[in-house]
Chain A
Amino acid sequence: MANDHLWKVAQEAEERINELAATSHPLGVDVGTSKIVAARRQGKELQTASQLNAFIPVPYSKFTEKTLTQNAISYYKDGDELVIFGTATEHFANMFNAEFRRPMADGLLNSKERLGWPVIEAILQMMIPKARAKDEVLAFSVPAASDGRNSALTYHEATFRGYFQSLGYNAIAINEGLAVIFAELESENFTGIGISCGGGMCNVALSFLSIPSILFSIAKGGDFIDQAVGTVVNEHATRVKMMKEESLDLSKAPKDKLEKALHIYYQDLVEELVGSLRRAISRAEKLPKADRPLPIVLAGGTAKPKGFREMFERTLRAEPMPIEVSEVKLAADPLTATARGALIAAMYEK
């Protein structure tokens, strides 16, 4: 009797989603400090796209503008400067041996950056089309609330919501860690711990059957590593980032000063992350007792270097945890996990 009822709910849910897949175009957007990633489903296919959430202003000249146009580089004119934004920024920053700038910091809109919102708007215009139908759902990621940042989070969320609504979407916000769980722990019925290690911060969610029990964030991410390493090795953070993404292997002993510094600061970040997780679980008042060990899934660009998962696992193993952990795994595609999870949330909300 009981199963009959649940099967009916399951059947209706599948029918509804099939119908939606044919008739609507929900979008999932990961609004990250480092990258903005969008995901949508085209029939059974999943499509994703990303842009670097960064920009670099260069002095205006007709020649520069012509070069940018000829090479299909994204830019806009701002007074006597040309603002190059998106993925091409990194290339130009290296070319000019200059630091690129971020429209966001620590997971939220960067209030100190005058060009922050105009650049984000320009990036989003490249990536997000107008809604094709009324009430098309778009789910975008937001970090977890944390002490002293709630009003900034409210502003951040409302600004993005307003923008997406202006494109005709029914915009909903989803916690970044929970989005990772939606994307990666489907086989566990969305039960486990999702961690998104981004450029500005790390977001953590623990959920049971898709219901979040713990959400928190730490304001340390890839940018912190890049800047800290850049300071000690006297390199631009932009260059550190490039080298980190190209060749860093945390499972091997460091072979130079730069790698040594990267190992040190990665370890620092992981220790803070694991320590925060341990404390959050220990302090949780209403955390239910799990009936099975919980998996941990790691996502985000900062989790991408080879050996990161092992470093995290080693650190986790060094101290007892208040819950049993079944496995630590890396997301199938760490860079798109949050956007894919947001897409699932958008389809659910529709």
Chain B
Amino acid sequence: MIAGAKAPDAGPLPRVRPHATTRTAGGPEEPAPARPTLARPDPFVARLEHVSARISDPAAKLRFLRESLAQKEALDERVQAVPVAPVRHLLQRLLGLDRIQHLLHRRDLQGTAADVAGPATARVSGVAALALVLALAAVAWSLRTAPAPAVVPAPGTAVVPAAAPGSPAPATVPPTQGVRPERIWLVEKSATHELWSNGLRIDTSLVVMGAPRAFRVFDRGRGLQPEVFTEPVGILFHTSESDVWPLDAGFNENLRDSTQRLLRYLRRNTTYHYLIDRFGRVWRVVDEGSKANHAGNSVWADGERVFLNLNHAFLAVSFETRWEGGRALPITEAQFAAGRLLTDQLRQRHDIPPQMAVAHGLASVNPKKRLIGHHVDWARGFPFAAFGLDNAYRVPSPAVELFGFGYDDEFLRVMQEPWPGVRLAEAKLAREAAAAGLTPEALRRQRQELYDAWIADQVRADEARTPVAEDTAPGAGATED
């Protein structure tokens, strides 16, 4: 069926040298690029190219290059698991991984996986992490050129299952290929479960009712608006802060029991609307028409709309994992996949825009101390891009920008540095202060007073329309999450 044909050989071709940096009239809108400079060849890349040049078959060459890079990826994933950033960076430098990051975790032939998510971020915890740090540091030099070491996870260590060699996507990113329904609909419903057309299966056997959802929205310029809403406008992602057992058959009982204990606690306290357990099962804990006690004192904004204390306005989705060592322990591949399906389903059903699905850690505040980051779950490391969401870490922090909140040494001890949105909000605040002829501190105080006034408005409005008021007062008013 395929007729024989051989490609003609191309003759030698002239070489094009870089051009002068002068520009012609009417050139493109982009600024003139700086004259390109060449980097020094990386030793590993140079060796790779040297060996590769000796392979004559193109398919064998491609296989060689990608398998060599896969081994580096495996090593990089283990280094990424080190929870202490300075040690992690040191190891990356020692192992030469920092110089080849652009070549790692991007082997998808369509070039999409790397765009939707960065490298797999397996993290380890506690003693196991320390042991890993020491072991890695001790052998760093000897590992520089060797294939990836086999690091056996210690008990108490949580890891994302590794991808098979040659896997086209990073370990935590399930394949994005295949047909997806244009719309998501309910396929099947029983007393204990729901099946949705995107593959999402929700266990509804444990669902409890809470107080009905009802909330008001603030307008940046006009303050509290009279209209009462009953439909959720956003999603807040949480970590359950519960026990995290290794994904190993030997811990089967612990894995099962700890999830069941957690579910009992969440039902009793109507904490989250959804829990995604370690095996990727999605549990509806609190009925969607009810508020859940998940957000406490919290602030978020979308354009002109400002939301204070998000228990009512936002749906709560919690991953069974724990914040430790300045980041959430890694969720499992199954949790990752289920989280994406649930997010898609909730966003479609409630018409939630991508900028309104955020992490609890980015919204949580301490109103008495005027501080952000009262809770820090997912204040770093949530895979927004892979979930099809805007990167909330780069959104100017509404609590800082609108209400002049700050952070203290404890926050820095945990986070090391604020997420980029905090810096952006601080810069905006400083610009506005300068424009108003105020010091940044004076403007902050003004904005903090505005927060107090708005909260008071919200409490008054809700008291007049009980029973919504229970979680609106600063501090004591907001139900603990």
For residues 11 through 66 of chain B, which have their beta carbon under 8 Å from a beta carbon of chain A?
13-21, 23-24, 27-28, 30-42, 44-45, 47-55, 57-66
Q: Decide if B190 is an interface residue (CB 8 Å cutoff).
A: no
Contacts of B112 in A (CB 8 A): 145
For residues 17 through 74 of chain A, which have their beta carbon under 8 Å from a beta carbon of chain B?
17-18, 20, 38-40, 45-49
The stretch of B176-184, B429-437, B445-453 in contact with A is B176-184
The answer to whether A190 touches B65, judged by C-beta atoms less than 8 angstroms apart, is yes
Complex CA distance for A92 and B101, rounded to whole angstroms: 54
Q: Decide if B7 is an interface residue (CB 8 Å cutoff).
A: yes
Given contacts A275-B28, A289-B38, contact A14 B10 (CB under 8 A): no
For residues 165 through 204 of chain A, which have their beta carbon under 8 Å from a beta carbon of chain B?
172-175, 178, 182-183, 186, 189-190
Complex CA distance for A162 and B15, rounded to whole angstroms: 43
Closest to A337 in B: B7
Q: Decide if A163 is an interface residue (CB 8 Å cutoff).
A: no
Contacts of A182 in B (CB 8 A): 58, 62
Given contacts A278-B28, A320-B33, A340-B7, contact A286 B102 (CB under 8 A): yes
Contact with B27, one of A157, A319, A348 (Cβ below 8 angstroms): A319
Contact with B13, one of A158, A213, A329 (Cβ below 8 angstroms): A329
The answer to whether B5 touches A13, judged by C-beta atoms less than 8 angstroms apart, is no
Closest to B146 in A: A5
The stretch of A124-132, A234-242, A243-251, A260-268 in contact with B is A124-132
Give min CB distance, B221 to chain A, whole Å: 32
The answer to whether A348 touches B1, judged by C-beta atoms less than 8 angstroms apart, is no
The answer to whether B4 touches A47, judged by C-beta atoms less than 8 angstroms apart, is yes
Contacts of B101 in A (CB 8 A): 286
Given contacts A292-B38, A336-B7, contact A40 B65 (CB under 8 A): no
The answer to whether A336 touches B16, judged by C-beta atoms less than 8 angstroms apart, is no
Q: Interface size (B, Cβ < 8 Å)?
A: 80
Give min CB distance, B206 to chain A, whole Å: 35
Complex CA distance for A175 and B54, rounded to whole angstroms: 26
Q: Decide if A325 is an interface residue (CB 8 Å cutoff).
A: yes
Q: Decide if B151 is an interface residue (CB 8 Å cutoff).
A: no
Contact with B30, one of A47, A278, A318 (Cβ below 8 angstroms): A278
Contact with A327, one of B14, B41, B107, B180 (Cβ below 8 angstroms): B14
Contact with A323, one of B36, B54, B66, B69 (Cβ below 8 angstroms): B36
Contact with B24, one of A47, A212, A318, A340 (Cβ below 8 angstroms): A318
Contact with B65, one of A5, A48, A209 (Cβ below 8 angstroms): A209
Give min CB distance, A232 to chain B, whole Å: 23
Give min CB distance, A175 to chain B, whole Å: 5
Given contacts A49-B1, A209-B49, A326-B15, contact A291 B39 (CB under 8 A): yes
DSSP majority for the B interface?
A: loop
Given contacts A3-B51, A126-B1, A318-B24, contact A330 B33 (CB under 8 A): no
Given contacts A158-B178, A211-B69, A215-B111, contact A49 B3 (CB under 8 A): yes
The answer to whether A14 touches B16, judged by C-beta atoms less than 8 angstroms apart, is no
Give min CB distance, A255 to chain B, whole Å: 26
The answer to whether B48 touches A327, judged by C-beta atoms less than 8 angstroms apart, is no
The answer to whether A288 touches B39, judged by C-beta atoms less than 8 angstroms apart, is yes
Residue in A162, A324, A328 with the greatest tally of chain B CB atoms within 10 Å: A324
Give min CB distance, A310 to chain B, whole Å: 9
Q: Decide if B9 is an interface residue (CB 8 Å cutoff).
A: yes
Q: Decide if B254 is an interface residue (CB 8 Å cutoff).
A: no
Q: Decide if B103 is an interface residue (CB 8 Å cutoff).
A: yes
Give min CB distance, B371 to chain A, whole Å: 32
Contacts of B59 in A (CB 8 A): 17, 20, 344, 347-348
The answer to whether A319 touches B39, judged by C-beta atoms less than 8 angstroms apart, is no
Given contacts A46-B6, A128-B1, contact A5 B62 (CB under 8 A): no
Q: Decide if A84 is an interface residue (CB 8 Å cutoff).
A: no
Q: Decide if B260 is an interface residue (CB 8 Å cutoff).
A: no
Contacts of A291 in B (CB 8 A): 38-42, 45
Give min CB distance, B15 to chain A, whole Å: 5
Residue in A20, A126, A127, A322 with the greatest tally of chain B CB atoms within 10 Å: A322
Complex CA distance for A46 and B59, rounded to whole angstroms: 13
Q: Decide if B242 is an interface residue (CB 8 Å cutoff).
A: no
Q: Decide if A138 is an interface residue (CB 8 Å cutoff).
A: no
Closest to B68 in A: A9
Contacts of A9 in B (CB 8 A): 64, 67-68, 71
DSSP majority for the A interface?
A: mixed
Q: Can you list, as one digit per residue, whether each of B80-100 has a CB less than 8 Å from chain A (1) or not (0)?
A: 000000000000000000000
Contact with B111, one of A205, A278, A325 (Cβ below 8 angstroms): A205
Q: Decide if B250 is an interface residue (CB 8 Å cutoff).
A: no
Contact with B16, one of A40, A183, A279, A328 (Cβ below 8 angstroms): A328
Give min CB distance, A329 to chain B, whole Å: 4
The answer to whether B16 touches A316, judged by C-beta atoms less than 8 angstroms apart, is yes
The answer to whether B30 touches A279, judged by C-beta atoms less than 8 angstroms apart, is yes
Contacts of A328 in B (CB 8 A): 13, 16
The answer to whether A47 touches B63, judged by C-beta atoms less than 8 angstroms apart, is no
Q: Decide if A133 is an interface residue (CB 8 Å cutoff).
A: no
Contact with A189, one of B44, B52, B178 (Cβ below 8 angstroms): B52
For residues 136 through 164 of chain B, which have their beta carbon under 8 Å from a beta carbon of chain A?
144-147
Contacts of A82 in B (CB 8 A): none
The answer to whether B33 touches A317, judged by C-beta atoms less than 8 angstroms apart, is no
Contacts of B182 in A (CB 8 A): 151
Contacts of A325 in B (CB 8 A): 16-18
Given contacts A10-B51, A213-B102, A336-B5, contact A320 B35 (CB under 8 A): yes
Closest to B62 in A: A348
Contacts of A49 in B (CB 8 A): 1-3, 5
Contact with A345, one of B9, B13, B109, B145 (Cβ below 8 angstroms): B109
A positions within 8 Å CB-CB of B: 1-3, 5-7, 9-10, 12-14, 16-18, 20, 38-40, 45-49, 126-129, 139, 142, 144-145, 151, 154, 157-158, 161-162, 172-175, 178, 182-183, 186, 189-190, 205, 208-213, 215, 275, 278-279, 281-282, 286-293, 309, 313, 316-333, 336, 340, 344-345, 347-349
**Complex A-B: 6 CB contacts under 8 Å:** A16-B60, A18-B60, A210-B65, A332-B7, A332-B9, A349-B109
B positions within 8 Å CB-CB of A: 1-10, 13-21, 23-24, 27-28, 30-42, 44-45, 47-55, 57-69, 71, 101-103, 106-107, 109-112, 144-147, 166, 177-180, 182
A13-B67, A46-B6, A142-B110 given. 12 additional CB < 8 A pairs? A9-B64, A14-B55, A145-B112, A151-B182, A178-B111, A183-B58, A209-B52, A211-B102, A291-B42, A319-B23, A329-B13, A348-B62
